[in-house]
Structure 1
Amino acid sequence: MKKIKVIVFGLLLIGFFGFSQLEASAHDSDLHNGSTGQQVSELQSTLKKLGYFKTGVTGYYGPVTATAVTKFQRDFGIPATGYTGPLTNGMLDKLHMMARVVHGEARGESYTGQVAVAAVILNRVDSFRFPNSINGVIFQRNAFTAVNDGQYWLTPNTSAYLAVKDAMLGWDPSSGATYYYNPAQVSDNWIFTRNFIKQIGKHHFAN
């Protein structure tokens, strides 16, 4: 099952029409054709990092931006309205949070290693042993070094966003891992009691 289906499972329960009405309810207050300003620029920048927005950032929400938003919505199981609303913004927020973790924890790793770190976050959301939301997993006490030492707040690069996108759309190079660690930097030997799955770059992945 694609990870994206897991993330939006609760929303899918209300059905497609509930989805559409919820997204449409914010049409007047969120971004749509004719919108301008910093929020539009930030949206375009994010969509550009994700590979949906192919031109320069303009700060104007026109047909090119609407097309990019529509493609994003289709990929992530959101009604393809072409404008942003709670569902689109919520998914973008999840992508932002995960990209910060990937950038903070794995920016020196291969692209596959970055996708694997993103997949671990999603695997934790799926597991009864961890919080059942991306926000809950990321901010669980002492769960991620990048959150503890402040690297979480660095600006993620394009690679981090694409890695998160690939993980959310189903790629899991970690083979289902819920832990990863660099054995050269371990401060608590407890992690070695976890079941080793594989190594990708400097990270060991385990359950």
Structure 2
Amino acid sequence: MKKILAVSALTLVFAAACTFGVLFAAQSAVANTGSGYSFAIDAAVLKKGSTGSEVKKVQQKLKNWGYYSGSVDGIYGSQTKKAVEYFQRKNGLSVDGIVGKQTFAALGINTGSSSSSSSSNGNYSNADMQLLARCIYAEARGESYTGQVAVGAVILNRVKSPKFPNTISGVIYQKGAFTAVSDGQINLSPDQTAMNAAKDAVNGWDPSYGCLYYYNPAVATSSWIFSRETVTVIGKHVFAI
């Protein structure tokens, strides 16, 4: 009887040890998983103190567009924060120095959080199409339909050109590129005509014949733009290369 009780006691001790080991392992796994989950969340929101390849992407975009003059080192320091705030201020975003969903989108950086796209819109997402239509509406809503498509085509021609950012948002939000961004009209809701013009431009209609620039000579103030070769004139806009 004593031997049986001794064996039972040993069994209970062994079982308890195993249970503790399993619990410890489970807790460690949860802790590690939690750490990874936290990292994934942090990776989607960049702020002062963040580091890594996503920070480099942001720094490079801001540097290319004239908002940032520091090193592209992947370290989100004070200078990067000031550059992000400058970009946000100039482009109608909440000025907090944090690169979240809206700022990522304005920079033309895909965080993988959205996969919505339309086959009829080529490789452009619904957000791209909406932004393109907003720019067309803000820049050319008083122009003919052909003139509105031509403005959209210029934006898309810039996306394809190595001289400009390679995304619609990058082109539109490039520093000093469009008056509509500077004066805030980019935030107006586009009408159906502008939406249709955006679709036609994406589907290949280019009334500008490959132009990278357009301007209204009645209000343009840059002497440089007048030096560009004129290709066509549609309404009040001169389209040039």
TM-score computed with the length of structure 2 as normaliser: 0.50
Give the drift of 1:187.
1.2
Q: 3-state SS of the aligned residue for 1:185? A: coil
TM-score computed with the length of structure 1 as normaliser: 0.58
Q: 3-state SS of the aligned residue for 1:166? A: helix
Aligned: 1:76 with 2:76: no
Runs (4+) of structure 1 moved beyond 4 Å?
none
Give the drift of 1:163.
0.1
Which residue, 166, 172, 190 being the options, matches 1:156?
Answer: 190
Partner amino acid for 1:147? V
- Distance 1:114-1:77 versus aligned 2 partners, 3 A rule: closer
Give the drift of 1:73.
3.3
Partner amino acid for 2:223? N
Q: Is the 8 A contact 2:121 2:199 kept in 1?
A: no
- Distance 1:77-1:124 versus aligned 2 partners, 3 A rule: closer
Q: 3-state SS of the aligned residue for 2:214? A: strand
Gaps of 5+ in 2: 1-116
- Distance 1:95-1:183 versus aligned 2 partners, 3 A rule: same
* Structure possessing the higher radius of gyration over alpha carbons: 2
| Identical-residue share of aligned pairs (%) | 55
Q: Which residue in 1 is equivalent to 2:166?
A: 132
Q: Output the aligned Cα RMSD.
A: 1.4
Deviation per CA, 1:114-170: give whole Å up to 9, x if none. 000000000001111111111110000010000000111111000000000000001
1: CA distance, partners of 2:122 / 2:232: 31
Partner amino acid for 2:155? I
- Distance 1:76-1:100 versus aligned 2 partners, 3 A rule: closer
Which residue, 172, 175, 190 being the options, matches 2:206?
Answer: 172
- Distance 1:77-1:135 versus aligned 2 partners, 3 A rule: closer
Deviation per CA, 1:67-88: give whole Å up to 9, x if none. xxxxx8342357xxxxxxxxxx
Which residue, 98, 102, 106 being the options, matches 2:132?
Answer: 98
How many residues get paired?
125
2: CA distance, partners of 1:146 / 1:201: 18
- Distance 1:127-1:77 versus aligned 2 partners, 3 A rule: closer
Gaps of 5+ in 1: 1-71, 79-89
Q: Which residue in 1 is equivalent to 2:19?
A: none
Partner amino acid for 2:193? S
1: CA distance, partners of 2:197 / 2:177: 20
After superposition, residues 192-207 of structure 1 pair within 5 angstroms as 192-207=226-241
